[in-house]
């Protein structure tokens, strides 16, 4: 379980909060508008009313222990900038910011945020899915229950072929492509007899629950590795 702090609970921010909470994560949800907080209260571990530009508000909400922050303050660029600075002062370095323009994105990048999000390009659900597990690099929800996920190669799979691993039989997922991140070469369709390397990522298609099962395995593996280091 990871701890997330969501600043700004409009449609996008509340959507991210709800999706992360449903995945079992600790979600701190902050907005200056009490009605917005009330609407998300049942989908957050710690809903809080307050101005997230203020360090004390963030501290009281428990934001300093967050793994990741998502700042979604609507059209108020100043609020997003000051919230980012306050979060960084607390030691939260992994910050995603919803932006409203290319200029806004450039300013956020200059402040050192992890990523800027244009909501018209990425849904709240997709962002939540992508950032909630350590091993997941990209996640896109398709029609119905079908989703596509890019993830790292598990330790136990390195040096083995797709045929040996049997992803389809074990997890009921289809490997669409293998991406060698070192050479940027993408194999579509992938060679089932080519051994996988640590620099490879897999593009998988399947149902949400099957993808989440595999993502959890990657997440646990990476967490164990981080604890050992």
What is the DSSP annotation of 90-150?
A: TT---EEEE-SSHHHHHHHHHTT-SEEE-TTTS-HHHHHHHHSSTTEEEEEE-STTEEEEE
- Cβ atoms of residues 201 and 151 within 8 Å: yes
DSSP β-bridge partners for residue 48: 30
Q: Are strands 3-7 and 68-71 parallel, antiparallel or unpaired?
A: parallel
Stretch 158-168: mean pLDDT, rounded?
A: 92
- How many whole angstroms from its chain centre is CA 211? 14
Query: Is 9 in the same domain as 120?
Result: yes
Query: Are both 13 and 77 inside the same structural domain?
Result: yes
Do 154 and 101 lie in a common domain? Answer: no
Output the average pLDDT for the chain.
88
From 129, 156, 188, the end of a domain falls on: 129
pLDDT on residue 225: 64
Full-model pTM: 0.65
Q: Give the pLDDT score at 32.
A: 95
CA torsion 177-121-81-71 (nearest 10°) is: -80
Residue 226's pLDDT is what?
60
Indicate if 18 and 97 belong to the same structural domain. yes
Cβ contact 149:215 at 8 Å: yes
Domain count of the fold of the chain: 2
Q: Are residues 140 and 92 in the same domain?
A: no
Q: How far apart are CA 115 and CA 96, in angstroms?
A: 5
Q: CA distances (Å), 212 to each of 21, 136, 218, in order?
A: 14, 10, 10
> In the structure, what pLDDT confidence band is assigned to residue 14 with cuts at 50, 70 and 90?
very high
On whether both 141 and 75 belong to a single domain, the answer is no
* 48-62, 178-192, 211-225: least confident range: 211-225
Q: What is the pLDDT of residue 127?
A: 74
CA 213-179-135 angle, to 5 degrees, is: 30
Residue 69 pLDDT? 96
**Does residue 95 sit in the same domain as residue 162?**
no
Residue 56 shares a structural domain with residue 141: no
Give which of 72, 76, 95 is closest to 84, Cα–Cα. Answer: 95
| 42 DSSP assignment | G
Residue 184 structural domain: 134-228
**What is the share, in percent, of the chain residues with pLDDT greater than 70?**
91
Whether 102 has a pLDDT exceeding 80, the answer reads yes
Q: Does residue 222 sit in the same domain as residue 174? A: yes
Per the CB < 8 A criterion, the answer to whether 150 and 137 are in contact is yes
Looking up residue 169, the CATH number of its domain turns out to be 3.30.70.1450
Rg from Cα positions in the chain? 19
Q: What is the CATH number of the domain that holds 19?
A: 3.40.50.720
Same domain, 140 and 114: no
Residue range 71-93, pLDDT digits in tens: 999 788 899 999 999 999 999 99
Among candidate residues 103, 129, 155, the one where a domain is terminated: 129
Q: 66 and 53: one domain?
A: yes
Write down which residue in 129, 144, 178 finishes a domain.
Answer: 129
Distances in Å between the Cα of 109 and the Cα atoms of 11, 98, 187, 218 are 23, 12, 32, 28
- 47 and 91 inside one domain: yes
């Amino acid at each position: 379980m990871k701890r997330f702090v969501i600043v700004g609970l409009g449609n996008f921010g509340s959507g991210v909060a709800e999706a992360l909470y449903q995945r079992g994560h600790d979600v701190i949800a902050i907005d200056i508008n009490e009605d917005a907080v009330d609407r998300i209260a049942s989908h957050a571990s710690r809903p809080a009313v307050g101005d997230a530009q203020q360090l004390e508000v963030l501290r009281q909400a428990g934001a300093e222990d967050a793994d990741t922050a998502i700042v979604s303050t609507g059209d108020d660029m100043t609020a997003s900038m000051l919230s980012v600075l306050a979060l960084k002062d607390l030691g939260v370095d992994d910050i995603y910011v919803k932006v409203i323009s290319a200029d806004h994105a450039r300013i956020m990048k200059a402040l050192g945020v992890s990523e800027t999000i244009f909501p018209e390009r990425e849904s709240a659900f997709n962002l939540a899915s992508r950032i909630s597990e350590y091993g997941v690099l990209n996640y896109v929800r398709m029609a119905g229950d079908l989703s596509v996920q890019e993830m790292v190669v598990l330790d136990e799979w390195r040096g083995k072929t797709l045929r040996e691993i049997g992803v389809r039989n074990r997890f009921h997922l289809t490997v669409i492509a293998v991406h060698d991140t070192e050479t940027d070469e993408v194999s579509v369709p992938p060679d089932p007899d080519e051994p996988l390397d640590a620099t490879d990522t897999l593009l998988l298609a399947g149902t949400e629950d099957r993808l989440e099962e595999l993502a959890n395995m990657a997440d646990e593996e990476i967490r164990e590795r981080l604890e050992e280091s």
